[in-house]
Amino acid sequence: MKKSLTMLTIAATTSALVAGCASPQMQNMSTGQRTGVGAGLGALVGAGIGQAVGRDSKSTLIGAAAGAALGAGAGYVWSQRMEQQRLAMEQAAQGTPVQVSQTADNRLRINIPADASFAVNSATLNHNMYPVLERLAQTLLQNPYAHVTVIGHTDSTGSDAINNPLSLNRANAARNFLVSRGVPAARISTTGMGSTQPVASNATEAGRAQNRRVEIFVAEHQN
C-alpha cells in the first residue's frame, strides 16, 4: 500500500512537471533534448518523493526510475488530426514558397519565407499570404488540441537592435492574423530570434533569403 502510494504521488507530481514542458523554450528543443530534460527533471522529482515517503535508498532509486520514465515521455503526438492538418496545409501552400513538413519530434512545421510575406524591414503581412494563414486558422479551429508556436527570424544584416524586434513583430503579425480568424490567443505563443538561428550561410544573398523567415510550429502534447 505504501509503495503504491509512493508511485501514485510520483506520477501525479511528474505529470505536473511534464505540463511545464510546454514552454516555448522546451518547444524549441529537439526530441532528444526535450526527452533528456524531462527524464532528468523527472528523476529528481521522483527521487525526492521516494526518499520522503520511503526514507531509504531503495525508495529513492524506485522514485528516480519512475520519475525519469514519466519525464522522458514528455513530448508531442502525431494524431490523425495532425495528419489532416498537414495535408490541408500542403494543399494550401501549393504554388507558394511556403514549405510544410512534419518534424522529427512530431510537430507540423510551416516555413514562410519573409521575402514573400513581408516588405523589407516591415512587419505588415502581404496579402498573398492570407490564403495560407486562413487555411491554417481553419485547421486550428478544427483541432482544439493543437497549440502553436510562431518564431520570427532575420538574416545577419543590420544590428540586433533592429533584427530582434523585427523578428518578434513579424511573428506577432502572424499570430494576430490567426487570432483575427477566431483562433484563441492563449493557444499561440510567439518569439523573435533575430539572426541567432540561421539555416543557411549569411555570406550569400540566397542564404540570407533563407534565413529571413517565419516558422509556425503546430503541436499536440502527449497526455
- How do residues 94-106 score in pLDDT, each as one tens digit? 999 999 999 999 9
| Interstrand relation of 99-102 and 108-113 (parallel, antiparallel or unpaired) | antiparallel
The span from the CA of 146 to the CA of 78, in Å, is: 10
Whether the per-residue pLDDT at 217 is higher than 80: the answer is yes
**Pairwise pLDDT comparison (197 vs 58), residue with the higher score:** 197
Contact 208, 156 (CB under 8 A): yes
Contact 106, 82 (CB under 8 A): yes
Least confident of 68-72, 123-127, 208-212: 68-72
**Pairwise pLDDT comparison (3 vs 126), residue with the higher score:** 126
Measure Cα distances from 176 to 79, 170, 196 in Å.
26, 10, 24
**Residue 95 CB neighbour total at 10 angstroms:** 7
- Average pLDDT (178-184) is 98
Sequence letter at residue 220: E
Whether the per-residue pLDDT at 7 is higher than 60: the answer is no
The span from the CA of 90 to the CA of 162, in Å, is: 33
**DSSP assignment, residue 221?**
B
Q: All domains of the chain, ordered by start, with CATH?
A: 2-72 (no CATH), 80-219 (3.30.1330.60)
Whether the per-residue pLDDT at 108 is higher than 70: the answer is yes
Let me know if 204 is exposed, middle or buried by CB neighbors in 10 A (0-12, 13-18, 19+). Answer: exposed
Q: What is the pLDDT of residue 3?
A: 46
- Structure-derived torsion over alpha carbons of residues 40, 103, 187, 125, reported in degrees to the nearest 10: 140
Let me know if 178 is exposed, middle or buried by CB neighbors in 10 A (0-12, 13-18, 19+). Answer: buried
Q: What is the pTM of this model?
A: 0.69
The span from the CA of 153 to the CA of 139, in Å, is: 24
- Mean pLDDT for all residues in the chain: 82
The span from the CA of 45 to the CA of 58, in Å, is: 15
The span from the CA of 64 to the CA of 40, in Å, is: 9
Contact 174, 191 (CB under 8 A): no
| Phi–psi pair at 186, nearest 5 degrees | -65, -20
pLDDT band with cut points at 50, 70 and 90 for residue 45: low
Q: Percent of the chain, pLDDT > 70?
A: 66
- Average pLDDT (140-144) is 97
Q: What is the pLDDT of residue 142?
A: 96
**Pairwise pLDDT comparison (139 vs 24), residue with the higher score:** 139
